[in-house]
Amino acid sequence: MKFSLVQLGCIALSATASVVSPREQALNGTEGLLSCLSTRKLPFLVPSSAAWASHTTTYNARLQYRPAAVLVATTTQQISDGVVCAAQNGIPVQAKSGGHSYASFSAGGRDGILVVDLGNLNDITVDNSTGIAVVGAGVRIGNLALGIYEQGSRALAHGTCPGVGVGGHFTHGGFGYSSRAFGLAMDQIVALDVVLANGSFIRANERSHPEVYWALRGAADSFGIVTTFHLQTSLAPSRVVQWEFSFPRALASVSAAVRAFRGVQDFALSATVDRNLGLGVNIADNAASFVVHGTYLGSIAAFNATIVPALLASVPFAPDPKASSMQEVGWIASLTRLGGLSTLAVPLTGYDARDNFFAKSVTTSKPFSEAALRRFFAFILDKGVGNDAPVGWFSIMDLYGGPGSALGTRNESFAAYRGYQDLWVVQNYGFVGVDRTFPKAGLDFMSGLNDALASETPGHGAYLNYIDPSYPREEALRVYYGEKTHARLKALKEILDPGNVFSNPQSI
Q: Is there binding between residue 139 and ligand NAG (CB under 6 A)?
A: no
CA neighbor of 86 nearest in space, from 34, 45, 27, 16? 34
Nearer to ligand FAD by Cβ, of 86 and 260: the residue is 86
Residue 214 interacts, among ligand NAG, ligand FAD, none and using kind-specific CB cut-offs from 5 to 8 Å, with none
Nearer to ligand FAD by Cβ, of 172 and 488: the residue is 172
Distance CA 393, CA 136 (A): 34
DSSP codes joined into one string, 454-497: HTTSTT-B--GGG--TTS-HHHHHHHHHHHHHHHHHHHHHHHH-
Residue 438 interacts, among ligand FAD, ligand NAG, none and using kind-specific CB cut-offs from 5 to 8 Å, with none
User: 222 and 174 in contact (C-beta within 8 Å)?
Assistant: no
Residue 411 interacts, among ligand NAG, ligand FAD, none and using kind-specific CB cut-offs from 5 to 8 Å, with ligand NAG
Min CB(47)–ligand FAD separation in Å:
20
**Residue 66 backbone class (left: φ over 0; alpha: ψ -120 to 50; beta: rest):** beta
Residue 167 interacts, among ligand FAD, ligand NAG, none and using kind-specific CB cut-offs from 5 to 8 Å, with ligand FAD
Min CB(322)–ligand FAD separation in Å:
27
Q: Is there binding between residue 385 and ligand NAG (CB under 6 A)?
A: no
Binding site for ligand FAD (CB under 6 A): 59, 94-102, 105-106, 118, 137, 159-161, 164-165, 167-169, 171-176, 220-221, 225-226, 465, 504
Q: Is there binding between residue 270 and ligand NAG (CB under 6 A)?
A: no
Instruction: Name the H helices within 290-350.
Output: 300-302, 308-314, 331-339
Query: In the set 14, 25, 28, 208, which binds ligand NAG (CB under 6 A)?
Result: 28
Q: Is there binding between residue 387 and ligand NAG (CB under 6 A)?
A: no
Query: By CB neighbour count within 10 A (0-12 exposed, 13-18 middle, 19+ buried), where does 208 fall?
Result: exposed
Binders of ligand NAG among residues 146 to 165 (CB under 6 A) are 151-152
User: 138 and 167 in contact (C-beta within 8 Å)?
Assistant: yes
Distance CA 55, CA 53 (A): 5
User: 154 and 148 in contact (C-beta within 8 Å)?
Assistant: yes
Name the residue type at position 59.
Y
Q: Is there binding between residue 326 and ligand NAG (CB under 6 A)?
A: yes
Q: Is there binding between residue 300 and ligand NAG (CB under 6 A)?
A: yes
Residue 364: in which H helix or E strand, if any? strand 356-364
Q: Is there binding between residue 196 and ligand NAG (CB under 6 A)?
A: yes
From 194-202, 365-373, 395-403, 473-481, give the range in contact with ligand NAG by CB under 6 A: 194-202
User: 31 and 76 in contact (C-beta within 8 Å)?
Assistant: no
Q: Is there binding between residue 304 and ligand NAG (CB under 6 A)?
A: yes
Residue 175 interacts, among ligand NAG, ligand FAD, none and using kind-specific CB cut-offs from 5 to 8 Å, with ligand FAD
For residue 146, give every residue at least 6 positions away whose Cβ sits within 8 Å of its Cβ, in sequence order, or none.
332, 344, 345
Distance CA 469, CA 268 (A): 31
Residue 188 interacts, among ligand FAD, ligand NAG, none and using kind-specific CB cut-offs from 5 to 8 Å, with none
Binders of ligand NAG among residues 435 to 494 (CB under 6 A) are none
Residue 245 interacts, among ligand FAD, ligand NAG, none and using kind-specific CB cut-offs from 5 to 8 Å, with none
Distance CA 10, CA 37 (A): 9
How many residues sit in the footprint of ligand NAG (CB under 6 A)? 16
Distance CA 264, CA 241 (A): 18
Distance CA 206, CA 192 (A): 10
Q: Is there binding between residue 75 and ligand NAG (CB under 6 A)?
A: no
Q: Is there binding between residue 198 and ligand NAG (CB under 6 A)?
A: yes
User: 205 and 245 in contact (C-beta within 8 Å)?
Assistant: no
Q: Is there binding between residue 70 and ligand NAG (CB under 6 A)?
A: no
Other CB atoms within a 10 A radius of the CB of residue 64 amount to 12
Name the residue type at position 49.
S
Min CB(383)–ligand FAD separation in Å:
25
Min CB(179)–ligand FAD separation in Å:
8
The footprint of ligand NAG (CB under 6 A) covers 28, 30-31, 128, 151-152, 196, 198, 200, 300, 304, 326, 411, 413, 495-496
